[in-house]
Structure 1
C-alpha cells in the first residue's frame, strides 16, 4: 500500500484544516464590522470615479488587519461590477516585494504590462507605471487601490521612495498596513505631507471575541463532538494574553487537533492545547532568531548573559558586553539603539524608561521577553 494512501486513510478529528489557516478569508469577520465600514466609507468614492484618500491601519499581529483589507477589496470588486468605473485593487505583501522597484514591477505586471523584475533603471520602471494612468490607456480612466501589507519592513529596508512614487501618481490610493504605530518615522516630511492618510486603529480581540471567532471556524474544521468543552475557551484565554492575537488562537486550535491525531485520540483535549502552546512558542522564537543578522544575534546573546547574571540591563552596559562577545567585529553604539528597537518590535525584548532622580537623567532598562532556556537553544543552535 502506498504510504500516502495509508496516512490519508487514517482517522482524524478534522473535517477540513483550511478554515483554521489565518490566510483563509471567511464570509464574515466577527467583531471587525466597524473597521470594515471605516475603510468602505473612504473607498466608496472610487465608485463615483473619485480617487479615495490614502488609509493607514495599525494593530498588533493577529488583530484582523489583513483579513479586513482583503474583505473590503472583495466587497468593492463586487460593488464595482455594476458601475461604469475601472477600479483595480492590488494586494502587495512587503515581505515578498521588498524594494520600490520590485513593487512597481509587480503592479505593472498585475495591470498587464510585461516588465522585468531587474535590469531596468528606476526611472524606466516608474515611467512605465505612470504611463498606464494616462487618459484612454485603458479605454477609460483607471483608479488603482494598492494595499501595502507590512509596509514598515519595506520602509526600513528601502526607504520611502515607493510612497513618494505612488502618492505622486494620478488616480492611485494607498492602504498601508503596519503592526507598529511608529512606522512613520521611516517617512520623510515631504512624503508624509503628500500621504495625508486617514488612520484606523485595530484593537486587540478580547477573550470572548476570540471564542466567537474560534467557534465559527471550528464548526467548519472539526468533526462534530471532536472538541472538549474547555478547548476553545482555553485557546481564547491564552491568545488574549498574547495581546488578543486571533492568528495565535487559530494556530493553537489547529496544532491541538494535530496533536490529537498523533495520539490517535478522537477528542481534542485541553492538555493538547497546552502542549500546542509550548510547541508554537518554541518554533516562533527559533524562526525569528534564525533570520536575524549575526550582529543582532550577538546583542541578544549579550542580553541573555546579563539576564542570567540578574544584572540591570542599560544600553551602556549592554554595549559593553556586546563588544566583548563580538571580539572586535562590532557596530557603533548608535546602531545598537536601532537593534534594540527592532528586537522590541519582534517581541523578544521590552524597554522601559526610568528616572534616576534629579540631575541624573533618564535611563532605558531592557528586559528579555522569552524564556532564557529557549533563547539559549535558539542562539547556540544557529
Structure 2
C-alpha cells in the first residue's frame, strides 16, 4: 500500500514538473509570437506601445487630479479658509455649504482647503482632522458614521450593528484626547443631497449634536435643504458659498495649465483649447466637460495615429461623449421610462407635435399591454426633464381651449435610438 502511494506521488510530481517547465516555456513563447497564416505576429501590446502618443501623462486631464493651484477659485477657497481658521484657535468652525453646477470646482476647492489646513495645523498646538465622504458611495447615516469611525481607527462594520451602537462609538472618540488636546473634526459631505434624499436628515442631526464636529456640505442644488426638517435646521446654521460657472476664458486658462502637463509639446493645434473651452462654456461652464473633451480628442488622435490634435477631433469627441453619456443614462433607467422615451422617439421621427395625450397613446402601443397609468406618465416626464433628456413647453391653445404641454427631445435621435435598442 505504501509502495502504491509512493508511485502515485512520483507520477504526480513528474506531471507537475513537466507542466511547470515546458508549460511555462510554451506560454512565454505564445506571448512573444503567434503564428497566423504562415506569418509570425509580435505581441499586440508591443505593437501598440511602438505607435507613440500625443500624451506624455494623461492623468492630469482627469477631473479627480488635484493641481497645486486652482485657477479662478481663489475667492471661494479663501471664503472656506475664513470659516475654518477658527479651528487653529481650537474653536469648532461654523458649518459651511458650497453650491454650484457640476464642474465648477467645488470638490477640488474643498480638498485644496483640506490640504492647506493640514499644512497649517502641523505648526500649531491643535489637533484637527478633516475627513472627506462621497455620498454617492455612502448613502445612509449608518454607512457615513461607520466610515468616519474607520478613518479614525475604530473597527466598525458597515452592517450588523444598530445605528445607536455606531453613533455612540463615534461620539466616544471625542471623549478621549490626543496628547491632552481635544480633537476638532471637519467632515466634508460631497453631494449631500443624494444622502439626504436617500436616508433623510439623520446624518445632520447626529453630526450637529456631536461636540467639536463641523460640516462642509457640497451640493449641485440650492434647494437641497428641502430634505432637512426644522428640528435639524435649528442646529445646522450653515454659511453659504456659491461657485459660479466658469467663463470661456477661465476654461482656456484651466485647460492650458493641464495641457502643458499632459501633452507632448506642439501636439495641439492652436484652435483646440479655445474650441474645448467654448463648447464647455455652453454646458454651464463645466470644467469636467472641458477636460473630457480635450482628453477624448487626444485619444482619438492616438486611434487615428495622428501626432497632432486638431479641431475636427474635438467635434468628434463631443459626439462621442454625448453618445456615451446618453447610452449610460438610458441603461440605468427603469423599463417603463425607457418605453416613454421610445414613444417620444417614434413621435419625433414621425414629426408629430408631442402632447401628453399623444405620448400616452404611443406609450401604450410600445408597452403592448404592460403599461402604467396616465397620471404616472407625468412623473416620468418630470424625471426625464430633470435628467435633461427631454424638455416641456406649456402653450396656450387659444381662448377657451386651455393649455397644453409640448414635449421635445433634447438629445440626438440617432444616439437615443442606439441607446434604447442596445440596452
Asked if Structure 1 and Structure 2 have the same fold, meaning a TM-score greater than 0.5 normalized by the shorter chain, the answer is yes
Q: Which moved more, 1:58-67 or 1:147-156?
A: 147-156
1:21 aligns with 2:62: yes
Q: Which moved more, 1:266-275 or 1:296-305?
A: 296-305
SS of residue matched to 2:234: helix
- In structure 2, what is the equivalent of residue 143 of structure 1? 184
Contact 1:180 1:345 in 2 (8 A): no
The structure-2 alpha-carbon separation of the partners of 1:299 and 1:361, relative to structure 1 and needing over 3 Å to count, comes to same
1:87 aligns with 2:142: no
The structure-2 alpha-carbon separation of the partners of 1:294 and 1:145, relative to structure 1 and needing over 3 Å to count, comes to farther
Q: Aligned ranges for residues 130-279 of structure 1 at < 5 Å?
A: 130-136=171-177, 139-279=180-320
Q: Aligned ranges for residues 31-180 of structure 1 at < 5 Å?
A: 31-136=72-177, 139-180=180-221
The alpha carbon displacement at 1:342 in A equals 3.8
Note the alpha carbon deviations across 1:330-382, whole angstroms, 9 max, x for none. Answer: 56667656544443343223345667789988766544221122112112211
Distance 2:196 2:355 in 1: 28
The alpha carbon displacement at 1:184 in A equals 2.1
The alpha carbon displacement at 1:117 in A equals 0.7
Distance 1:332 1:3 in 2: 55
Calculate the aligned-residue CA RMSD, in Å.
Answer: 2.5
The alpha carbon displacement at 1:23 in A equals 0.5
Distance 1:361 1:197 in 2: 44
SS of residue matched to 1:115: coil
The structure-2 alpha-carbon separation of the partners of 1:122 and 1:360, relative to structure 1 and needing over 3 Å to count, comes to farther
Q: Aligned ranges for residues 279-294 of structure 1 at < 5 Å?
A: 279-294=320-335
- In structure 1, what is the equivalent of residue 389 of structure 2? 348
Distance 1:354 1:363 in 2: 5
SS of residue matched to 2:388: coil
The alpha carbon displacement at 1:86 in A equals 1.3
Note the alpha carbon deviations across 1:207-256, whole angstroms, 9 max, x for none. Answer: 11111111111111111111111111111111111111111111111111
- In structure 1, what is the equivalent of residue 22 of structure 2? none
Unaligned runs of 5+ in 1: none
SS of residue matched to 2:235: helix
Distance 2:127 2:403 in 1: 55
Q: Which moved more, 1:290-299 or 1:361-370?
A: 361-370
**Greater RCO structure (CA 8 Å; 6+ sep):** 1
Distance 1:330 1:193 in 2: 45
The structure-2 alpha-carbon separation of the partners of 1:251 and 1:51, relative to structure 1 and needing over 3 Å to count, comes to same
The alpha carbon displacement at 1:113 in A equals 0.4
Distance 1:203 1:281 in 2: 24
Distance 1:327 1:296 in 2: 14
Distance 1:334 1:121 in 2: 39
Note the alpha carbon deviations across 1:90-139, whole angstroms, 9 max, x for none. Answer: 11111111111111111110011011011111111111112212253774
The alpha carbon displacement at 1:7 in A equals 2.4
Distance 1:155 1:314 in 2: 34
Unaligned runs of 5+ in 2: 1-31, 33-42
**Number of residue pairs matched by the alignment:** 382
The alpha carbon displacement at 1:80 in A equals 0.9
- In structure 2, what is the equivalent of residue 376 of structure 1? 417
The alpha carbon displacement at 1:4 in A equals 2.8
Distance 2:171 2:96 in 1: 21
Contact 2:127 2:178 in 1 (8 A): no
Contact 1:142 1:171 in 2 (8 A): yes
Note the alpha carbon deviations across 1:278-332, whole angstroms, 9 max, x for none. Answer: 1111001111111223333334334434444555556676566556655665566
Q: Which moved more, 1:45-54 or 1:153-162?
A: 153-162
Larger Rg: 2
